[in-house]
Amino acid sequence: DAGVTQSPTHLIKTRGQQVTLRCSPKSGHDTVSWYQQALGQGPQFIFQYYEEEERQRGNFPDRFSGHQFPNYSSELNVNALLLGDSALYLCASRRSQGARGEAFFGQGTRLTVV
């Protein structure tokens, strides 16, 4: 079992550009969430996808958008990048049934905006 896999592991972008991060959930998991972890802080919930729809959203602007594919994998898109978007982006997956919040995390994508 490969667990939750994210790509790429590191990324450097320029202000104003757009970025796409990718996540493959753990086998058997159908729900994917994205979190942003700024340096020295705890992760903050961005949004959650289930059945290819955004089900919940945290306090993030519309520049942050996502997608879930039929195979449950997911993408996080960020438009018009700001310096403050520099962070570790974590993907988490879980089973929708009986999981009671228990999520498994990937290794993250380190995004640096310059």
Partner 1 sequence: AQSVTQLDSQVPVFEEAPVELRCNYSSSVSVYLFWYVQYPNQGLQLLLKYLSGSTLVKGINGFEAEFNKSQTSFHLRKPSVHISDTAEYFCAVSSSNAGNMLTFGGGTRLMVKP
Nearest partner of 89 among 68, 54, 113, 69, judged by Cα: 113
Residue 41 makes CB contacts below 8 A (sequence gap 6+) with none
Cα 106 to Cα 84: distance, rounded to the nearest angstrom: 22
Residue closer to partner 1 by CB (options 81, 90) is 90
Residue closer to partner 1 by CB (options 4, 111) is 4
Examine residue 48 and tell whether it contacts partner 1 (CB under 8 A).
yes
Cα 98 to Cα 23: distance, rounded to the nearest angstrom: 22
- Taking CB under 8 A as the criterion, the residue among 19, 21, 32, 35 binding partner 1 is 35
Q: Residue 16: what residue type?
A: G
Least Å distance, CB 86 to partner 1, is 15
Cα 60 to Cα 83: distance, rounded to the nearest angstrom: 15
Examine residue 64 and tell whether it contacts partner 1 (CB under 8 A).
no
Examine residue 101 and tell whether it contacts partner 1 (CB under 8 A).
yes
Binding residues (CB under 8 A) for partner 1: these are 4, 6, 33, 35, 40-45, 48, 55-56, 58, 90, 92, 94, 99-108, 110
